[in-house]
Amino acid sequence: MSNEPLATSYHKNKRVILTSPITMKKAGGFLWNSKMMIQMNCRGYATSQFMQPEPAKYSHAPNMEAKTFMQPEQDYYAHHPGRFFYIKDEDSGEIFSAPFEPVRRPLDRYEFSVGSSDISWRIESLGIEVELLLTLACDEAIELWQLRINNRSKRLRNISIYPYFTIGHMSWMNQSATFDPSLNALVAKSISPYQKVDQYLKQQNFNDQTFLLSDTAPYAWTSTQESFEGEGGLHCPTAISAAQLPGASANYEAIVAVMQFRLKLKPENEEQHSYKFLFGPAQNRDEISNIKLRYLSDPKAFDIAAQDYSNYIDKGKGCLRIHTPDREFDNFVNQWLPRQMFYHGDVNRLSTDPQTRNYLQDNMGMCYIKPATTRAAFLTTLSQQSRNGAIPDGILLHPDAELKYINQVPHTDHAVWLPICLAAYLNEHNDLALLDEYIPFADSEGKQTVLEHINLAMDYLLKARDQRGLSFIEQGDWCDPMNMVGYKGKGVSAWLSLATAYALNCWADICDDHAATYGGTLRQKNHRDSAKEINQAVNQHLWQGDWYGRGITDNNVIFGTAQDEEGSIYLNPQSWAMLSGAADTNQINSILRHVDDRLATPYGVMMLAPSYTSMREDIGRITQKYPGTAENGSVYNHAAIFYAFSLYEIGDKDRAFEVIRHMLPDGDTAVRRGQLAVYIPNYYRGAYLQFPQSAGRSSQLFNTGTVSWLYRCLIEGLCGLKGNKGDLVVKPQLPSEWPSIKVSREFQGAMFHVTISQHLERESTELIVDGLLLSDNRIRHIETGKNYTVIVKTPKQSSRHSC
């Protein structure tokens, strides 16, 4: 047990609730649709963006911001963009703000509650209760806000309510704002900065306006930061101290959207008042007027929109429901995990050029939700392949999209994800016909089958190796910032070599299955031989006696070894050597021992250790990331899930579950992590021995390749209900302390209600399907639409490899 204070969050009715704005200041939730996302913090700060088609902002900081994505461990400052409501007692002059910022007045009650399709607060101060509810429009960039206010005190209250929504510094070229009474909206206008004529032509139809629309005519308003804040500052804005907001238009000034509503509240909850607000970007007045008509003319429109949005989020249901002795884990797996997976797969992290490896892995997750999307993603990816087999760094998803940022840096791993992710899709859906689809290339006429496209990709990978048979790394593999190991053209990657071997084996299995159904090619044997050859090369050049090194630099220096003071052990090559078959039993035992000793922490397994503290020019940018953050030795969940997957592959079910369970905040670690169990973050701080005081802190980033792999681990590993050629192969791997679990699993259009229990006296697994004892662990001839009752009894034994 750690000495962490008890967490102040709990799960109730499919919501995660936080009861203090102080203990986890950065905790929040996120909402998205195909046009926007918002990360809403428990204290009222927000990071939001919409697509046009590239990500853009409609609520800025009041100063000129650098153009950024979401930032890890984003700090919030008083003027950070957010959505706030000041409440003033007009009789006493006292003020407080909901949900907490900017006034920070201690509240008598605070409840921040994250649901699947909305985020809400219920707070109380000065005898006044405020309820806030945020949801999104289903398919447009609009925030829908509702505020309800109650007088819980025994006297009549005379109050003012002020929504204060930040709009900030919109553009250095042109920005202004004023209240438009005919719209009942505060409208800010700007021109997105540009310099080139062709940018003008592209940007002239941008949504350069931001509006705050209200269902109630305000008593007063103001729209400049200065007129609102004055000398009082955000804790006690000058404009709020006055009786009435000054009605200042913004003419090339930092912009705020503030309205004032005056209200008399009868005592003791006798009547409730509510207000609706819409906030978002728009192109022009007509659009805002149209939005007003659609959402504010019918009193039910908000509810209908909220229902539509909730229906959209509900489409992200997975094919698995579990009931285990660990209820917190169940809540996450049954609700939040498929939701996060759906976000990744349905809107591709709101990117128009997702990195190919992200695109493929995120779509692997979609095979458990909406398989047609996964299928289409393979076709899209392969139609952007070059005839020589090369797979691009990013996949273009919009006619105007271009490869940007990291996608302009050559990475060498993209092809390996094709068979690896395809295997998951085929396990689930047995859609071998996909391999016979003819699709084009990016750079030449003519079409080829998916099968031939992937053969070309495998050949390309095999060619991109040195004389030792190891894969070149160029400026990065899975690890983006490992950009200087091989930039001179010589450096090689142990991880990529092993991933290539694993991919080739996966591909050979798929080709075997395809051949068995459709008659076959003869290349499977070559693929398996090549995999073996690569495994041998890695064992010969990169096995270091205790574990595998991470690679060999352009100057022929092996790194990731005991001789290195920093970065002496990396997790990825160890995991993938178990997947590729490179590691034998002795090697596996040694690997596990050293991972336990050197990488395990109370917050999960670190991706490398010790973290680098200064630049290594033969490794690159990863060594310059702050020690313990991101790839430089954090608990990088994507790497950790590969490890868990490989542990299930070798049958080490206890270690595997331990790795997985550490991905979620729990009672002991929640406050330290500072995050609610509504998503798995990109990383938790590592460098456990170097910086123990910050270890465990969540990055608060909800973009991560972890989630699809976690789902796969649960289906194929923990529950052991893995599809194979249309059959269900049953091989559960429950942690040894669980006596039993219940699982509902959808597969091939049928529903399986499975009870899995562990028994000390059993020596082998027993499988009973609808009352009949099966002779092996394979459920065959599955009928669509049927409900199956499955009872599985397994021997109870610890799986922990002794090491």
Biggest CA-to-CA distance, the chain: 86
The smaller minimum CB distance to ligand CEZ, of residues 344 and 375, is found at 344
Question: Site for ligand CEZ (CB under 6 A): how many residues?
Answer: 13
Rounded to the nearest whole angstrom, what is the least distance from the CB of residue 415 to ligand CEZ in the complex? Answer: 14
C-alpha closest to that of 500 among 471, 468, 466 = 471
Q: What are phi and psi of 518, to 5 degrees?
A: -115, 5
Residue 545 sits at the vertex; the CA angle it makes with 539 and 549, to the nearest 5 degrees, is 60
The smaller minimum CB distance to ligand CEZ, of residues 384 and 703, is found at 703
The smaller minimum CB distance to ligand CEZ, of residues 682 and 777, is found at 682
The smaller minimum CB distance to ligand CEZ, of residues 638 and 793, is found at 638
Helix (H, G, I), strand (E, B) or coil at 94: coil
Rounded to the nearest whole angstrom, what is the least distance from the CB of residue 392 to ligand CEZ in the complex? Answer: 14
Q: Is 771 left (phi over 0), alpha (psi -120 to 50) or beta?
A: left
**Residues written for the chain:** 803
Among 357, 370, 453, 745, contact with ligand CEZ (rule: CB under 6 A): 357
168-197 mask for ligand CEZ (x: CB under 6 A)?
------------------------------
Q: Are strands 750-759 and 787-795 parallel, antiparallel or unpaired?
A: parallel
670-689 mask for ligand CEZ (x: CB under 6 A)?
------------x-------
Helix (H, G, I), strand (E, B) or coil at 454: helix
Helix (H, G, I), strand (E, B) or coil at 683: strand
> CB of 399 within 8 A of CB of 339?
no
Q: Is residue 703 a contact point for ligand CEZ (CB under 6 A)? A: yes
Helix (H, G, I), strand (E, B) or coil at 284: coil
Instruction: Tell me how far the alpha carbon of residue 283 is from its chain's centroid.
Output: 30
Distance CA 475, CA 482 (A): 7
Rounded to the nearest whole angstrom, what is the least distance from the CB of residue 682 to ligand CEZ in the complex? Answer: 5
426-465 mask for ligand CEZ (x: CB under 6 A)?
----------------------------------------
Residue 724 sits at the vertex; the CA angle it makes with 722 and 729, to the nearest 5 degrees, is 45
Rounded to the nearest whole angstrom, what is the least distance from the CB of residue 658 to ligand CEZ in the complex? Answer: 23
Distance CA 701, CA 682 (A): 5
Among 358, 455, 669, 675, contact with ligand CEZ (rule: CB under 6 A): 358
Distance CA 450, CA 458 (A): 12
The smaller minimum CB distance to ligand CEZ, of residues 358 and 568, is found at 358
316-355 mask for ligand CEZ (x: CB under 6 A)?
---------------------------------------x
Residues of span 393-432 touching ligand CEZ by CB under 6 A: 406
Rounded to the nearest whole angstrom, what is the least distance from the CB of residue 357 to ligand CEZ in the complex? Answer: 5
Helix (H, G, I), strand (E, B) or coil at 307: helix
- For residue 125, the surrounding DSSP H or E stretch is strand 119-125
Rounded to the nearest whole angstrom, what is the least distance from the CB of residue 487 to ligand CEZ in the complex? Answer: 15
Distance CA 574, CA 568 (A): 13
Distance CA 273, CA 130 (A): 10
Location of structure tokens 């006619």: 399
Rounded to the nearest whole angstrom, what is the least distance from the CB of residue 479 to ligand CEZ in the complex? Answer: 5
Rounded to the nearest whole angstrom, what is the least distance from the CB of residue 209 to ligand CEZ in the complex? Answer: 31
Cβ-proximal residue to ligand CEZ, closest one? 480
Structure letter (DSSP) for residue 801: P
Residues of span 2-21 touching ligand CEZ by CB under 6 A: none
CA distance from start to end of the chain: 25
625-654 mask for ligand CEZ (x: CB under 6 A)?
-----xx-----------------------
The smaller minimum CB distance to ligand CEZ, of residues 223 and 493, is found at 493
- Give me the residues paired with residue 449 across strands: 438
Rounded to the nearest whole angstrom, what is the least distance from the CB of residue 133 to ligand CEZ in the complex? Answer: 30
Residues of span 471-500 touching ligand CEZ by CB under 6 A: 478-481
The smaller minimum CB distance to ligand CEZ, of residues 351 and 455, is found at 351
Instruction: Show Cβ contacts of residue 67 under 8 Å, excluding neighbours closer than 6 positions.
Output: none
Location of structure tokens 């009928």: 783
The smaller minimum CB distance to ligand CEZ, of residues 356 and 590, is found at 356
Is the peptide bond prior to 102 cis by the omega test (within 30 degrees of 0)?
Answer: yes
Distance CA 30, CA 143 (A): 12
The smaller minimum CB distance to ligand CEZ, of residues 192 and 572, is found at 572
C-alpha closest to that of 306 among 118, 41, 113 = 118
The smaller minimum CB distance to ligand CEZ, of residues 622 and 718, is found at 622
Location of structure tokens 């206010």: 149
The smaller minimum CB distance to ligand CEZ, of residues 374 and 699, is found at 699
- 776 in active site: no
Q: Which of 477, 480, 513, 618 is catalytic?
A: 480
Rounded to the nearest whole angstrom, what is the least distance from the CB of residue 213 to ligand CEZ in the complex? Answer: 34
Rounded to the nearest whole angstrom, what is the least distance from the CB of residue 271 to ligand CEZ in the complex? Answer: 48
The smaller minimum CB distance to ligand CEZ, of residues 208 and 480, is found at 480
> CB of 306 within 8 A of CB of 312?
no
Instruction: Show Cβ contacts of residue 610 under 8 Å, excluding neighbours closer than 6 positions.
Output: 565, 566, 567, 568, 627, 633, 687, 689, 690
- Give me the residues paired with residue 394 across strands: 355
Instruction: Show Cβ contacts of residue 646 under 8 Å, excluding neighbours closer than 6 positions.
Output: 575, 576, 578, 579
Beta strands (DSSP E) in 516-587 are 551-552, 558-559, 569-570
Rounded to the nearest whole angstrom, what is the least distance from the CB of residue 631 to ligand CEZ in the complex? Answer: 5
Residue ranges that bind ligand CEZ, judged by CB under 6 A: 355, 357-358, 406, 478-481, 630-631, 682, 701, 703
Catalytic positions, please?
480
